[in-house]
Amino acid sequence: MGISGQDLIYACSAIGAGLAMIAGIGPGVGQGYAAGQAAAAVGRNPGARGTITTTMLLGQAVAETTGLYGLVVAIILMFVKPF
């Protein structure tokens, strides 16, 4: 049983898509940590809830872009012909 060049390209494309999805781990951990720290900050100073929440959401939006880029790369590798 031989592996053709096209089969090898498909296999490498699938492996690359899986590796690209590893990029979703970092934003998940970072966003969870940010939300925990924001909750602790609001617990210490409830009067600053609005500014803390705004800053936290802005930071989470920036962190999420890494995960979205990884998802886009994985979708391109899986569904666009790699030839």
Residue 50 CA to residue 56 CA, distance in Å, equals 10
Has residue 19 been placed in a domain?
no
Run of H or E including 82: none
Has residue 13 been placed in a domain?
no
Has residue 83 been placed in a domain?
yes
Q: What is the pLDDT along the chain (83 residues), one digit of tens a residue?
A: 677 888 888 888 889 888 888 888 888 888 889 899 999 999 999 999 999 999 999 988 888 888 889 899 889 888 886 65
How many CB atoms within 10 Å of residue 28? 12
Has residue 5 been placed in a domain?
no
C-alpha distances in angstroms, 62 versus 4, 41, 71, 74?
A: 42, 20, 15, 20
Has residue 70 been placed in a domain?
yes
Has residue 7 been placed in a domain?
no
**CATH number of the domain where residue 48 is located:** 1.20.20.10
Has residue 76 been placed in a domain?
yes
**Number of structural domains found in the chain:** 1
Q: Which domain holds residue 46?
A: 25-83
